[in-house]
Structure formats: C-alpha cells, structure tokens
Structure 1
C-alpha cells in the first residue's frame, strides 16, 4: 500500500490528496471561527448564464458550452470550495485506487499524465453526483416562502452570469426575513450590462421570479 502511494506515477494524486487535506482542515476551522477564507473562489466561476425561468421569453437564452458544463456538473449550486474539496478527494482516490488495481493486474502503472487524464474523466460523473448530495444536505439560506414583491426596493448582488435587458443572471438578495434568497434579474434599461459582484437595486418584476434592476446610486442602501 505505501509502495503504491509513493510511486512516481502517483505523484499528481498525492499532491491532490495533500491539497484536499489542507483545504479541508482550513475550511473546517474557518466554519468554527466564522470566517470564509475561500469565499473568493465563487467569483472565479466563469461568467455564464444559468437556467432561467420558463416564463421568460427573452432573446439569446440558449446555453453555451460552458453553461452546459456547469449545469451538467451542478457547479454553482453549492459554495465552490466544497465542490473543489470534493473534486480533489475523488480525483486522488480514483487515481490511487486505479493505479493500485492496474498494478495488481499487470505489474505496472500508467504514466502519471495518462493516469491523471483517466482519473479526471471518471471523476466528473462522481463530482456531479456528489454536488447533488451536497446541494441537499448543506445548510441554505434561500427559497423561503415569502412574497416576491417584498424584494422590490432591496439590494441584489449578481453571483452568476451577466444581466442585460434581454438576458438574466442569478443574484442573491437578503429578504425581510433576514435570509438570503437567489433570484433571476435583468437590467431595467436597454444597453445596460451588469456582471458578477455588482450591487444593484431591484425596482420591479418582469415575470414570476424575474426581477428588474438598476445601478445603485445610494451607497447607504448597500448597508442593508
């Protein structure tokens, strides 16, 4: 077992396993002390559009390749640090056990490059399955049963995608119940483009679940 772990062909998997342990420990400690050292990872997700409300008839809502990949892997549905931790764990386990099984059968191991490619392919469906489980078990502050009209006049922050007058993005908003909700938003004015991290004011609702936003010109509103 130790010989298999320390084999040169398994170097990439050992690095992945060490990263998994390191990030897992840091994240566990940060939860206890109330910090988010890896919160920035969510902003590194590609600037893509997510699945939109079926009642929204807007132009150019066909998902692209990156949209499809993110949807397939269920990226963005849980904090990205958890997805990253899960990926590192699955990638290292699949690689190490795959190399071990191959060595037992043939007496040799794959070159690390070929082995990592194979492990990556096998890891993807497992990652999708794992993200689906995490989505159900991780505590969430979203989707409380309150009137959607109460979001109007509140601040929203775009978390996934870019919002234009024709295309929606996902944004988070703190409701009157103090909980965080996730809604789809579009720009109220034509020609406007709002991107990830923009703090916007919700001024209306276009359809069920689709809200219109404008630039926030009152800095005091960002404190709510």
Structure 2
C-alpha cells in the first residue's frame, strides 16, 4: 500500500481515487432519480460544447478545441469522459512505472506523468468513440431537434420540475428512440418518473414538457 503513495506513483493513485469518487457520485445520483452526468451537461451546456468543438475539426494545427473534439467531447457526457480519462491515465501510469521498475527503477513523477498523458490520449479517443456508439444521443440524424416538439414521451429521470433538467424518452416519426433533457413548463406540476408527457417547446437545448392529455 505504501508503494502506491510513493512519489513516482502518487499522481496515478490520486487519479484512480478521484475516478472512483466520481463513479460513486454518478451511481448515488442515479439512485436518487437524477444523473449527475446529465445535470453537469445541463449546467455547462453540453450541446453547445459539442457544437463548438465540432466546428474545430476542420481547423489546422493542434488547438485546444481541436484536441477536445479529437477525444470526442460533445459526443459523450462530460462526466463519463472525465471518468474514462482518469481511469486510463491511472492505468497507463501504473503500467509505465511497473515496466520501469522491472527494467531499472521507477521514473520520477515529472517524467512519468507526461509519458502517461501521451499514452492516455489515443486510448481515450478509441474508448470514447466506442462509448459514443452505446450511449443514446439527444438528437438523431433522421430528424431535427425541433421536429420532436409536439411528441409524447415518458419521464425516465425525474421528477421533472422547473429546476435542473431531467430526462425523457421519446420516439420520432421513424420509430427511433431519443433520450432528451427536459424540464416542466412554468405552470406545470412536477412529473414523476414514468409519467407520459407532451413536449411543447425547446429552450436552450432543453425540452419543455407538460402532462400528456389522456387522448394522446
């Protein structure tokens, strides 16, 4: 145990501990009916971030925006990307120091951290690309976001109120499933998980919902 907090391994042990803490936060938030990942994306404007870094794909050079786009920020939830980055960084560091110890001696942290970071980036790109295919996206290429206004949906992470957005599951005209961030309309009562709702508007990438009429 003492070896894990030695100077050469401490940055990677710390990354692993922070990663574990974030996983616990996400798991606990899901038990409470809200996703910490979804709440964080709503707070920082996940859709806007995705559009902003996506526009950097065609830019020349290695700008910060291009790097964020390269590791798929905007295609996976920010908290999930952060958890993956910390896990891969910790793993790369532990493997690197293990090999260095077997060959000669542990590397100084100032040398090990940049090497582990360099190994983390391509691994993170591959991992987030895979995760992006598995996580339902708010919008589909088949329809525009505005076309989902007027659709009925079911609350999957609630209750929906006028506070932080929750999540609803909706179907478009093609039958595709969309998981969307939504909150209750200003004059609507809170809507619990499982409630059928009607999406009546979309404001700042968040849908506005009211209880669905019985005849819909």
Shorter-chain TM-score bucket reads 0.5 to 0.7
SS of the equivalent of 1:110 reads: coil
Structure 1's unaligned 5+ residue stretches are 53-59, 155-173, 183-197, 202-220
How far is 1:93 from its partner? Answer: 0.8
Assess, with a 3 A threshold, how the Cα gap between structure 1 residues 87 and 62 changes in structure 2: closer, same or farther. Answer: closer
Show the counterpart of 1:35.
34
Show the counterpart of 1:97.
95
Confirm or deny: 8 A CA contact 2:13 2:90 kept in the other structure: yes
Inter-partner Cα distance in structure 2 for 1:70 and 1:30: 26
Assess, with a 3 A threshold, how the Cα gap between structure 1 residues 69 and 113 changes in structure 2: closer, same or farther. Answer: same
Inter-partner Cα distance in structure 2 for 1:26 and 1:61: 32
Show the counterpart of 1:80.
78
How far is 1:75 from its partner? Answer: 1.2
The structure whose RCO (Cα within 8 Å, separation 6+) is larger is 1
How far is 1:180 from its partner? Answer: 5.0
How far is 1:133 from its partner? Answer: 1.0
Confirm or deny: 8 A CA contact 1:5 1:96 kept in the other structure: no
1:131 equivalent to 2:128? Answer yes
Show the counterpart of 2:154.
none
1:122 equivalent to 2:126? Answer no
Inter-partner Cα distance in structure 2 for 1:141 and 1:200: 13
Structure 1 range deviating more: 138-147 or 69-78: 138-147
SS of the equivalent of 1:8 reads: coil
How far is 1:100 from its partner? Answer: 1.2
SS of the equivalent of 1:140 reads: coil
Assess, with a 3 A threshold, how the Cα gap between structure 1 residues 222 and 146 changes in structure 2: closer, same or farther. Answer: closer
Show the counterpart of 2:22.
23
Inter-partner Cα distance in structure 1 for 2:144 and 2:17: 46
Assess, with a 3 A threshold, how the Cα gap between structure 1 residues 135 and 118 changes in structure 2: closer, same or farther. Answer: same
Show the counterpart of 1:66.
64
TM-score, normalised relative to structure 1: 0.58
Match of 1:199 among 203, 207, 211: 203
Assess, with a 3 A threshold, how the Cα gap between structure 1 residues 99 and 118 changes in structure 2: closer, same or farther. Answer: same
SS of the equivalent of 1:117 reads: helix
How far is 1:62 from its partner? Answer: 4.9
Could you give the per-residue CA deviations for residues 56-76 of structure 1, whole angstroms, max 9, x where no partner exists? xxxx99536233212211111
When the two chains are superposed, the root-mean-square deviation of aligned CA atoms in Å is: 3.9
SS of the equivalent of 1:18 reads: helix
1:49 equivalent to 2:52? Answer yes
Number of equivalent positions? 163
How far is 1:142 from its partner? Answer: 2.8
